[in-house]
Amino acid sequence: MKTLNIAAAALLSLAAFQTALAADYPSRPITMVVPFSPGGVSDTTGRPLATLMSKILGQPIVVENRPGAGGGIGMAYTAKTAPDGYTIMMGLPSISAIPVAEEMQGRTPSYSTSQFEGIARVSADPTVISVRGDSKWQSLQELIDDAKQDPGSISFSSSGMYGTTHVAMERFAQAADIQLLHVPYGGGGEQVSALLGGHVQATSQTYGNTSQHIKSGAFRPLAVQSAERLEALPDVPTLKELGLDAEYYLWAGVFVPTGMPADIKARLREATKEAIASPDFEKVMNGMGTPIQYLDAPEFDDFWRTDEKQQVQVIKAIGPAS
C-alpha cells in the first residue's frame, strides 16, 4: 500500500509539474526545425509561419535548417528532442518515406513516425515537372520518347534519395515506363539551382518553389501532377490528361515530438491556426503561388496516416538504392 501511495504521489507530482510548464509556456525561444536547406517548400512555408506564431506566442521562433538524407537528419534530430514545446518541425511527406527506405537499405531506421504528432497541415501543393526554358523538349511526350530511346540519360534533381521530390518524379517515371537518372541534393533551393545551372535536365517541384523561374522563362513547365490544371498554369496539362496515373501533392505540416503535454500542444495548435488564418500569411502564400490547405490536428492525423500508406507503396516500388 505504501508503494502504491508513493507511485500515486509521483504521478500527481509529475502532473503538477507539467501543468506548471504549460501555464508558463512559452517562457523562452522556440526552435522550428526545417529538415531541408533554405529555399525549399518547408523553408519558404516555415519562415513566415514562424514569424507570425512568434507574435502570437510572445516568444521568438528561430528557424533552424538541418538538411541532409532527404530530410532524414533533421527529422531524426527532432524526434529525439524533449516534447516540451520548445522544438517544433515543418515536415513534408518524406517524414513517412524515410523510415521504410532506411529499413529497405538494411539499416535501423533513424526514427519512427510514431515519434511525431501532427499539429496542423499548412498546405498541399501538386508538383510541376519542369525543364530549362532553353531545353529541346517542348512537351512531356517528347521527354518521354527520348527517355525510352536512351534509358537513364535524362537527369533530374531531388531533395535526396526517397525524398519528397524524388518520389514525385519516380511516380511519373513508373507511370510512363521510363528510366531517369536521379541526382540528389540537400533541399528545394539546391534542386532548383541545379536545373538553373544546367547540372540536371528536369525537376518536379511545387509551382510556388519555381514560379519566378517559370514566369521569367528560365523554366518550362511540361505537366502538373494533379487531378486538375493549376489556375496559375492554365495551359499546362496534367499527367492525368496525358494518360498517366501519377498524381502527387507536396504538403507541408507542423509536427512535434510525441508525448507533449496536452495543454502545450493545444497552445501550439491555437497559435498555428491563428497564424495560418491571418491575412499576412495568406498574402505570403499567395505570392508564392501556394494555396493554403489547413487541417487541424485530428483531421491532419487522418490525412497523414493515409498518405503514409501511399508513401510506403511508392518507396517499395522504387526499391533499394544501388
pLDDT of residue 321: 73
Domain span at 195: 127-224
Q: Report the domain count for the chain.
A: 2
pLDDT at 16: 47
Give domain status of residue 102, yes or no. Answer: yes
For residue 292, tell me if it sits in a domain. yes
Same domain, 139 and 214: yes
Whether residues 134 and 120 share a domain: the answer is no
Is the Cβ–Cβ distance between 159 and 184 less than 8 Å? yes
User: From its phi and psi, is residue 278 left (phi > 0), alpha (psi between -120 and 50) or beta?
Assistant: beta
Q: Are residues 104 and 134 in the same domain?
A: no
Q: How far apart are CA 167 and CA 314, in angstroms?
A: 7
Domain boundary among 189, 224, 259: 224
Phi-psi domain of 189 (left: phi exceeds 0; alpha: psi -120 through 50; beta: other): alpha
pLDDT in tens, the chain (322 residues): 555 565 455 455 544 454 555 679 999 999 999 998 898 889 999 999 999 999 999 999 999 999 988 789 999 999 999 999 999 999 999 899 999 989 988 999 999 999 999 999 999 989 999 999 999 999 999 999 999 999 999 999 998 888 888 899 999 999 999 999 999 987 668 899 999 999 999 999 988 889 999 999 999 999 999 989 998 999 999 999 999 998 888 899 999 999 999 999 999 999 999 999 999 999 999 888 788 999 999 999 999 998 898 788 878 888 887 6
The CATH number assigned to the domain holding 183 equals 3.40.190.10
What is the Cα–Cα distance from 205 to 18, expressed in whole angstroms? Answer: 42
Task: Identify whether residues 112 and 141 lie together within a single domain.
Answer: no
Task: Write down which residue in 178, 207, 224 finishes a domain.
Answer: 224
Q: Is position 200 within any domain?
A: yes
Q: Are residue 201 and residue 277 in the same domain, yes or no? A: no
Is the same domain home to 113 and 188?
Answer: no
40-49 residue pLDDT tens: 889 999 999 9
**pLDDT at residue number 288:** 80
Q: Where are the alpha helices (DSSP H) in 80-163?
A: 94-104, 140-149
Are 257 and 308 in the same domain?
A: yes
Say whether both 138 and 206 belong to one domain: yes
Question: Whole-prediction pTM value?
Answer: 0.76
Q: What is the structure's pLDDT at 84?
A: 98
In the block, residue with C-alpha cell 521504410: 100
* 133/192 same-domain check: yes
> Would you state the cell numbers that stand for residue 2, as one nine-digit string?
505504501
Q: Tell whether 120 and 148 lie within a shared domain.
A: no
Q: Where are the alpha helices (DSSP H) in the chain?
A: 2-24, 41-57, 72-79, 94-104, 140-149, 164-176, 188-196, 207-216, 262-277, 279-288, 297-318
